[in-house]
Amino acid sequence: MNWIDRLALFHPADALAVVLILAAWLGIGWRIENPPAGRPSTVTLMAEYRREWMRQMVTREPRIFDSQILTSLRAATSFFASSTLIAIGGALALMGNAEHLTGVANQLVLEDDPAILWEIKLLLVLLFLTNGFLKFVWSNRLFGYCAVLMGAVPNDPEDPGALTLAAKAAEINITAARSFNRGLRSIYFSLASIAWALGPAGLICGTLVTCAMLWRREFVSRSRAVLLEGHALAPRRPETHTDVT
């Protein structure tokens, strides 16, 4: 069976559902990172607090508190990278044991679909998981760069290079956090893609629920409201990034 024959096993609604989830993944990521000027997302609000963190670090002695925060951030990226790698291994194991997967999946949809169909559906899950793993690894490395830059910031607040280096550390920190958030979104959409086991309608529903959850957390959540209360930091207009995954 060639790839054309394999793809013929799918209904056009499956193709529509896959296009929808990929478009939603890219689209909501772009909107979160590039929100309207008058309605900042939680991510853009936190970016300004990260810049303020680095400005405050210049005058803080000792800087153990700052190093502890960065250590916790790197620990989170390591945890998610390891967890995602385990999930990738589990998905590959399922693909290698397609007979059991097919039996369980066909019981869910009450149909008798071939194993290759379910293996192809798992590829979508693997796509999101792999992207998430790569983002978490890159985020961990960027937080490492940030640690080096923080260490290079002079202890003397009067040093003319102190604020410049602190600003560089802040931008690297923000870039690392952006990569981490992209990894999290990939995990969310990998969970949504599992709903494809219920058919294209399941995948579409999973996509809509995931988008609604992300939108709520970024634009109407209580945590965002707390960040905005007495918000004295003026959010910058975020730069447009072509790599939104």
DSSP strands (E only) in 68-209: none
Classify 110 in phi/psi space as left (phi over 0), alpha (psi -120 to 50) or beta. Answer: left
pLDDT average, residue stretch 175-200: 94
Residue type, 79: F
Chain segment 218-235, per-residue pLDDT in tens: 999 999 999 988 665 545
Residue 101 has pLDDT above 60, yes or no: no
How far apart CA 29 and CA 211 sit, in angstroms, is: 10
Classify 199 in phi/psi space as left (phi over 0), alpha (psi -120 to 50) or beta. Answer: left
DSSP conformation class of 1: -
Chain segment 21-44, per-residue pLDDT in tens: 999 999 999 999 999 988 999 999
Residue 85 has pLDDT above 60, yes or no: yes
Helices (H), 198-243: 200-215, 222-228
Best CA proximity match to 156, nearest among 67, 64, 59: 59
pLDDT average, residue stretch 166-180: 96
Which tokens belong to 50? Answer: 């990260």
Best CA proximity match to 166, nearest among 58, 45, 241: 58
Exposure class string for 38-57: b at 16+ Cβ within 10 A, else e: eebbbbbbbbbebbebbeeb
How far apart CA 5 and CA 14 sit, in angstroms, is: 15
